[in-house]
Structure formats: structure tokens, C-alpha cells
Structure 1
Amino acid sequence: MDHALIGEAVNIPINDSVPVISISPVIVPAPGRIVDLQIRVSAPATGDNLPIILLSHGHGLSNHLSSLNGYSPLINFWAAHGFVVIQPTHLSSKSLSLKAPPGQSLFWRSRAEDMKHIIDQLDHIEASFPNLKGRLDKTRIAVAGHSMGGNTASLLLGQTLVDPEDGTVVNLTEPRIKAGVLLTPPGNGGADLSAFAFENYTFFRHPNFAEMKTPALVVIGDNDSLLHLNVRGADWHADPYSLSPGPKSLLTLFGATHGLGGISGYDVAETTDESPERVAVVQRLTWAYLRSELYPEDPAWSNACAALEKLKTVGQVESK
């Protein structure tokens, strides 16, 4: 059920919800990985030919949210409204506390490889989840990511970067992914980075969004100023929209900070702008965007945007 305090977000149309089933951890074979790849799979209890969202968690300060145990407000909503959601615990997770190899800070490459590997192993995942067997539509796959997870999603959608170890251009585009949602993703490198980010997150130095051609929705907060990462302010997070080719959309949430109202978990300490209404807007707009991108005949996105236009204090959408 919707939270009683979602305010004007209740006016953004959605489909009917159904109960959600979830299983974790599911172990996905990944030879050569430092530790087993563990995932959570959440799905609607009913329905067939279900589209898939792969969710990449952020980094963050919390002990548990940067893992398959985070992002319940998004996971539960997306699954209740018709998506199968698969979320891995990346090697960068605080729950693992692993030291990254040189040039691989935050395990940036491994994170993208995790998502590709999950797609490779969808048959295995189905077999591990009897209530899901035969219900996946493997032709309709989307990726979503928050913060550092937004970088992971950007790479899968076509963003490139320069490998800080050998100077080569890295292209990790995944053509099986048809659409994406980037939640407060990292922006441009170079002089836009803080001294700390330039020194410690060397893979951030030279991103290139010019080939990020897969359709995507970028979601930012206009009060999201991560001074430890960039020197520009909130608009830095919009670069994956501004610097990439269309089709793209940008959702700007008024008053939002990096947690977008609390998407990483219920009542978590790291959320500085706690708002059930804001979370509900993110839930509904991201759901509607992916519905219409994966099913072009579905008017969910245009309907949601029309509703948002009437909510002048909540946020705005622009597209190209």
C-alpha cells in the first residue's frame, strides 16, 4: 500500500499493485570472482512475461544498504507493479569490506561485469527461484542505479571512460539492456571533480557520455551538492543527460538531496531529505518511464509527465 503521507504524488497514475515475493541470497556462479556473486530477486506474485530491472546499489555510509539488502522502497514498488527486480551485492559493498586492486577503486569495472553476468545467468536464476520459472521476458531488460550505481548503469548504457591504469578507452555497453534509470549519477570529470575525487576515484577523471545512446531517465535533486566529489553543485549530476545524445529525459526534484527522499531504505540515517512524497514521485516516474520504454504502446510515461506538470512544487521533467 502507498504511505499515507505521499501527498500530491497520489495524483501520478500507476497500475494496480500485487503482492511481492522475494528470495535471497541466490548464488550466481561467477568463476574467478573474489567472492560468490549474491543477488536478491523480487517479483510480483502473479503475471507472466515479466520485464526485468537490474539495480546497482550505491556506495554510501550505511553498513547494509550498499548490498542486496538496500533500496526496499524502490524494489518493493517496482515488483508490486509488474517488474522482476534483481539486485547484486557488488564487491564494493561495505558488507564485504574488500580492498580494490590498483586503478579499480570502488570496483568500478567489476560492478558493470556483475550486471552482464547476471544477464548471462538468467536461466540459472530462474531455476533457483521456482515461483519465477518461465515467467521472465528476457527481451525486456532495464538497468537502474543510484549514485555510484548510476555510474555502473551509465557504463552499461554506453558511457565510456579512460582506464586509469593503462590509458585505454573502456567500453562496457550492454546491448541486451534496452533502457535505464540513473538516480543522482556522477557527472563530468576533469576540472569539475573535487581534489579528493580526482585523487581517489581516478576512473572519474575522463568519462565520455557522447556514445551513451540507450534511452535513459536521469533523476536529480536540485539541492544535491556532493562537495567531496565535485565543485559544481547539483547540476553536475545532470551531465549524463546534458552530455549524452537523445532519447533522454531528466527529472529534477525540487528540494531533494542525494537520497531523493529516502530511496535507499526505510528511515535510514543517511537520508537528509526524508519525504514519503518525494520517494513516491521517484517510484511512480521511474516505473512509468521504464514501462513506456520497454512497451512503447504503453502511455504510462506521458500520463505521468502530464500529472507532474500540475504538481508545480514537486519537480519537473524535460526530454530530448
Structure 2
Amino acid sequence: MAKEPPMRPLSLLMILLFASTGAQAQTAAPVGHDRLDIPGIEARVLYPTTRPGPVTMIADNPAFVGVPVVDQAPLADGLHPVALLSHGYSGLWRNQAWLAGRMAAAGYVVVTLNHPGTTFGDMSPDWAQHSADRVHQLSRALDALLDTPRFAASLDRDRIAVIGHSLGGSTALMMAGGTFSFDRLMTACGDATDALVCSLYRKSGSGQAVAPAMARDPRIRAAVLLDMEGIRAFPPESLAGISIPVLALAAGIEDPALPLGWESREQAARLPAATSRYAEIIGATHFTFISECKPGAEELLEEDAYICRGETAPRAVLHDEIAKTVIRFLTAGTQMVSALQQP
């Protein structure tokens, strides 16, 4: 779960997140782009195409590197696996557009969306009491994709994955079959104030009892957790019942507010050994999993500049490593010896 950005009116961070420029970036293969029609939810589809242009940019602004796409291009021939992307707390669909673009170039049809109630600029004060809402939003997005005539016949319905960053990791794990217990998480947190996940859920929960949330979507055949927060909310018997492959990737550089021993390494210990893989990305921070920062971004972001700092390798290089690892896992599933196994 990402640090909560200062929620000041029309903040510079919000302006930069929603702004767009025409700057270009490199791409390995043509990527198509379109909007997905879901009432009340902003969603985009990125997918493989053979049309080389004209190229435009999405998720690009003065601070963050975007993705070159071909708007409303035809979908490449063949049967394509599907991936759903879930952003973190107070995030945006743009945060993981870099991953959507790399996966689309590799043959995936990828849906990335804003989660109403937990999206930057659209935050419900009691979001933590309705954790299943995010899963339902993803399921609605999948429904919309499968019902879209130009995509429907070309989607491999036996290869549908969900990928979530931070809070989105908890969403992905619920969609895979995990039960999220707000009360269990609060019990595990106790009076602790150092773990960010505890303070954020405590603030939203307002001390109320919240029923455990179950929202499994049986169409999901694999899940990927990107520096997920909230593993202690999932009862052991709930995790033991997850039968699909799960990959948990963690930031190798620890943030004191996101302690590895309390969060990511607990995922390695609690997820089913037979169907799960875990790895820490050396040189990565929690914010490595969002868009690459441009030169000068820290000056533009001011007090929010921490999201661009701390890595010991270029973010673009780490993005390539993460994307290749995710794709290898989704291709090999439980046949991988480890998450970082080479093909």
C-alpha cells in the first residue's frame, strides 16, 4: 500500500497525474489502446496489434513516462491471454500502464482501471469497510471485456490473470479466492502505528466491526501480487484453499512503513507452497511498481518526490525485469522452480 499523498486541493501531484504531453517513448512492438465502456468506471484496454501507427501517448505527463500506443487499432490475430490490473491505495490506472504496455506487446489483452472509492481524487472515507467492492469492479471490467464484440472471440478464457500493486495485491488475492477479514487485520495490528497498512485501515474502519469479505471470481486462473500489503487480514484456511498459481513479488529495498518481515515475507510463509512463488526484486522500492519518473520529476513533485527516490537501479530496467518475471510466471505457472527462473 503506497504512502498516502497529501490530499491538498488541486495539488501539483494531481495536476501531473492527470496531465498529458506528447512526448515519445520506446516500444518493443505495436500496442493498441482503447477505452472500455463500464458505467461509473474509467478503464482502458491495451492489446497487441500489427498496426504501427499513428502513435500517441497515454499515461504521460511532465513527471512520469507514458506508454506509446495506437488508438483503436485492430487486435492482432490469434487467441490472447487476459490480465486485469488493480492499482494501489489512492492510485490510478496510469500507475501500472507501463506493465500493461509491456504485457500487451507480449501478446496479452490487458485491462487497467480506476477503482471508484480508492482512486486518487475519488476516495471514500469508509473504503476499508467495503474491500470487496474493488473485486466487484474488476469482475465488471472482465464482463465488459468478454462482452465487447471486437475482443470477445480472440480472448483465451482459460488464461485470465489478475495483477495488483499494494492494496491492489489484496484485491487480487481476494479475487483468487482469499477471504479478507478487516477485524483479523486490526487484531494483528494491535496498537501499532509504524505499519502504514494498520494506520490506513484503522482510519477508514472507524472502530466498526466489518464482516469478512469473499469475492472470488472463478474465471481467474492466476494472480500476481506486487509489493502487496494486508496479508495478515487473510485467515490461514482461506489462503490454504487457493488452488491457482500465485506469484508474490516484493520490493527488495525496505520502507520502514512497509516492513518486509511483517508483510511480504509473511506472504512467502502463508501462501500455499505448492502453488505459489515469492521473490524480492533487488534494487526496487515500493514505488518502483508505478510509472517511471522523468528527469526533473522530483523538483516538480516537491514533497511527493519520495515516489521517485531510493532505487539502486534505473526504474526502466527494473520494470523490464518485473514484466519478464510476471510473463514467465503466467506462462509457466507452478512449473517454475522459482519466480526468477530463466526460460
Fold shared by both chains (TM-score > 0.5)? yes
Q: How does 1:54-133 map to 2 (within 5 A)?
A: 54-59=84-89, 66-101=91-126, 104-105=127-128, 107-124=130-147, 126-127=148-149, 130=150, 132=151
> CA shift at 1:249, angstroms?
0.5
8 Å CA contact retained: 1:92, 1:107:
no
The alpha-carbon distance between structure 1 residues 173 and 67, as it changes in their structure 2 partners (threshold 3 A), is: same
- 1:166: Cα distance to partner? 4.7
Is 2:323 aligned against 1:283? yes
Which string of whole-angstrom CA distances, capped at 9 and with x for unpartnered residues, describes residues 162-190 of structure 1? Answer: 2555553322222110001100011443x
CA distance in 1, matches of 2:110, 2:145: 12
Specify the code of the residue in structure 2 equivalent to 1:121.
Answer: A
Match of 1:40 in 2: 44
Structure having the higher helix fraction is 2
In structure 1, what is the Cα distance between the partners aligned to 2:115 and 2:338?
Answer: 35
Selected match of 1:170 from 210, 213, 219 = 213
The alpha carbon displacement at 1:234 in A equals 5.1
Q: Which residue of 2 aligns with 1:151?
A: 170
- 1:304 and 1:111 map into 2 onto residues whose CA distance is 27
> CA-to-partner distance for each residue in 1:105-143, whole Å, 9 max, x for gaps?
28522111111222233333x23xx4x352212222000
The alignment's C-alpha RMSD in Å is 3.0
| Correspondence list, 1:13-52, <5 A | 18-24=29-35, 26-29=36-39, 36-45=40-49, 46-52=76-82
Partners of 2:261 and 2:252 in 1: how far apart? 6
Identify the match of residue 258 of structure 1 among 265, 286, 297. 286
Q: How does 1:179-194 map to 2 (within 5 A)?
A: 179-189=222-232
Give 1:291 deviation, angstroms: 1.6
Q: CA–CA distance in 2 between the matches of 1:158 and 1:275?
A: 32
Instruction: Say if 1:239 and 1:211 are closer, same or farther in 2 by CA, change over 3 A.
Output: farther
**Unpaired stretches in structure 1, ≥5 consecutive residues:** 5-15, 30-35, 61-65, 190-203, 309-320
Q: In the alignment, which residue of structure 1 is the partner of 2:17?
A: none
2:66 corresponds to: none
Q: Take 1:150 and 1:117, find their aligned partners in 2: how far apart are those partners?
A: 18
CA positional deviation for 1:303? 10
AA at the equivalent of 1:150? G
Q: Which digits, 9 at most, give the CA deviation of each residue in 1:39-84, with x for residues without a partner?
A: 1100000232111000001125xxxxx2222212211100000100
Partner of 1:193: none
* CA apart distance, 1:241: 2.9
Counting aligned pairs with the same residue, the percent is: 23
Shift of the 166–226 alpha-carbon distance from structure 1 to 2, 3 Å rule, reads same
Task: After superposing the two structures, state which structure 1 stretch, 88-97 or 139-148, moved more.
Answer: 88-97
Matched, 1:271 2:275: no
User: Could you report, residue by residue, the CA deviation over 1:240-267 in whole angstroms, capped at 9, with x for unpaired residues?
Assistant: 33202131111212232212xx331121
TM normalised by structure 1 equals 0.69
Asked if the contact 1:55–1:88 (Cα under 8 Å) also holds between the matched residues in 2, the reply is: yes
Note closer, same or farther for the CA distance 1:226–1:78 as it changes in structure 2 (3 Å cut).
Answer: farther
Aligned length: 253
Cα 1:88–1:226 shift into 2, 3 Å: farther
2 CA distance for matches of 1:95 and 1:167? 24
In structure 2, C-alpha distance between the alignment counterparts of 1:38 and 1:221, rounded to whole Å:
28
In structure 1, how many angstroms separate the alpha carbons of the residues matched to 2:338 and 2:107? 18
Q: 1:215 to 1:303 in 2, by over 3 A?
A: closer
CA distance in 1, matches of 2:251, 2:33: 30
> Secondary structure of the residue that 1:180 maps to in structure 2?
strand
Structure 2 unmatched runs, 5+: 1-24, 50-75, 184-207, 295-304
Cα shift at 1:223: 1.8
1:287-302 matches, cutoff 5 A:
287-293=327-333
Give the 3 Å change call, closer, same or farther, for CA 156–99 of structure 1 in structure 2.
same
